[in-house]
Amino acid sequence: MSKKRILTGDRPTGRLHLGHYVGSLANRVALQKEYETFILVADIQALTDNFRHPEKVREAVREVTLDNLAVGLDPKLTSFVLQSQVPEIAELTIFYANLVTVARLQRNPTIKAEIKERGFGGSVPLGFFMYPVSQAADITFVEADLVPVGEDQLPHIEQTREIVRAFNRIYGKTLKEPKALVGKVPRLVGIDGKAKMSKSLGNCIFLSDSPEAVEEKVMSMYTDPTRIHPTDPGHVKGNPVFIYHDAFNPNKEEVAEMKKLYQQGKVGDVEVKRRLASVLNEFLSPIRERRAEYGRDPKLIDEVLHEGTSKARGIAAGVVARVKEAMKISCI
Ligand code: TRP
């Protein structure tokens, strides 16, 4: 029996961070043996809001691939696919565009938030506005069963499922309807306490940060604003330092004890932060080692991308042929 498939992806606009890890990367690593896994390096999607900076996107393609390898995705098990080199995705996007209304895209909460964040105002580029349609093509071209993602991507997976159902209803059952899988921490707060760790907000700890950078960032972290002295009783709930301890400290008893002391005003911010910095650096240490190892062979990343992309194209050709047949636009 053939394995079920995973497809998920990243926009190559910069380095991946801890939020990516707990939202999606950890699930990718955990499931890569059980599922046939495809990681899409979504450079065309990255261009939808970076089309003036193609060099930035190109540079980040290798960075993002290396981040995925460094966390433990094994290129022998997992295929890395460069989106721009799979023209079938663009073809499917055009077909699916008929099945989505402008009003439906306008209601997509992630698109809404991103339009605001980017300050597009009334001038949203069409490519950006419709990237969820292209994301449906990303997911369906390999007939993915499961899509491990952070919480912010759920509206896009729902959109994909709607497109699949509409397609199958109109043209006959052709496409597979995927399911989303959200990570242990669906949305990680930033070091500034803002709702989301995000590159554009400048509140990230990156997987490739040095031990010194991690320490500096942790020591500057936002904690409990109501606490002036270390002897004041502190708040644990919603406190980023403890949210990170919960997410990354494997010693649950230590975390419980620290929370208790913190609430009683018996341990200071500096101490819980110092512990967090060392927990994070321990967590990142094997990731740094793998990064250095993969980084020693400069051709390796290109090879991994070539191999994965050519495997994906083989699958895409079959799916697009069936899609075209269903839509009565196959070769006459
Ligand atoms: N939109 C995703 C992000 O911003 C990246 C992405 C592109 C993706 N294609 C995908 C995620 C397909 C899951 C499935 O992180």
Query: 6, 146 in Cβ contact below 8 A?
Result: yes
Helix (H, G, I), strand (E, B) or coil at 151: helix
Q: Mean pLDDT for the chain? A: 96
Residue whose CA lies nearest to ligand 1 atom number 5:
10
The residue behind tokens 């506005």 is 129
Give the mean model confidence (pLDDT) for residues 235-249. 95
Contacts 24+ apart (CB under 8 A), 44-47: 44/83, 44/84, 44/89, 44/90, 44/134, 45/9, 45/11, 45/83, 45/131, 45/134, 45/135, 45/138, 46/11, 46/12, 46/13, 47/127
Dist CA 83 CA 329 (whole Å)? 24
Residue whose CA lies nearest to ligand 1 atom number 14:
8
Q: Edge-to-edge strand order for the sheet containing 36-41?
A: 78-82, 36-41, 5-10, 146-149, 179-182
Q: What is the reported pTM?
A: 0.96
Residue 1 pLDDT exceeds 80:
no
Of 28, 139, 149, best ligand 1 pocket probe by most atoms within 8 Å of the beta carbon: 149
User: Which sign, positive or negative, has the C-alpha torsion 106, 111, 117, 123?
Assistant: negative
Contacts 24+ apart (CB under 8 A), 293-297: 294/66, 294/69, 294/70, 295/66
Q: Which residues lie closer than 8 Å to 271 by C-beta, 6 or more apart?
A: none
Count of CB atoms situated within 10 Å of the CB of 185: 21
Mind listing the pLDDT tens digit for each residue in 183-212? 999 899 999 998 899 988 899 999 999 999
Confidence of residue 248 (pLDDT cuts 50, 70, 90): very high
Dist CA 299 CA 73 (whole Å)? 17
Residue 112 pLDDT exceeds 80:
yes
Which numbered atom of ligand 1 lies nearest the CA of 156? Answer: 1
Residue whose CA lies nearest to ligand 1 atom number 8:
9
Highest mean predicted confidence (pLDDT) among 110-119, 232-241, 278-287: 278-287
The CATH code of the domain at 209-290 is 1.10.240.10
Give the mean model confidence (pLDDT) for residues 106-110. 96
Give the mean model confidence (pLDDT) for residues 103-112. 96
Pick the CATH number of 5-189+297-326 from 3.90.1860.10, 3.60.15.10, 3.40.50.150, 3.40.50.620: 3.40.50.620
Of 24, 37, 40, best ligand 1 pocket probe by most atoms within 8 Å of the beta carbon: 40
Residue ranges around ligand 1 (CB below 6 Å): 7-11, 40, 42, 45, 135, 138-139, 147, 149, 153
Of 147, 153, 154, 176, best ligand 1 pocket probe by most atoms within 8 Å of the beta carbon: 153
What is the Å distance from ligand 1's center to 135 Cα? 7
Q: How far is CA 262 from CA 171, 227, 237, 276, 323, in A?
A: 60, 10, 11, 14, 59
Residue whose CA lies nearest to ligand 1 atom number 2:
10
Mind listing the pLDDT tens digit for each residue in 6-17? 999 999 999 999
Which numbered atom of ligand 1 lies nearest the CA of 45? Answer: 7
Mind listing the pLDDT tens digit for each residue in 42-68? 999 999 999 999 999 999 999 999 999
Strands (E), 169-268: 179-182
Q: Tell me, what's the pLDDT at 287?
A: 98
What is the Å distance from ligand 1's center to 154 Cα? 10
Between residues 77 and 228, the one the model is more confident about: 77
Give the mean model confidence (pLDDT) for residues 283-303. 95
Domain boundaries of the chain, sorted by first residue = 5-189+297-326, 209-290
Residue 172: which region, alpha, beta or left (left: phi > 0; alpha: psi -120 to 50)? left
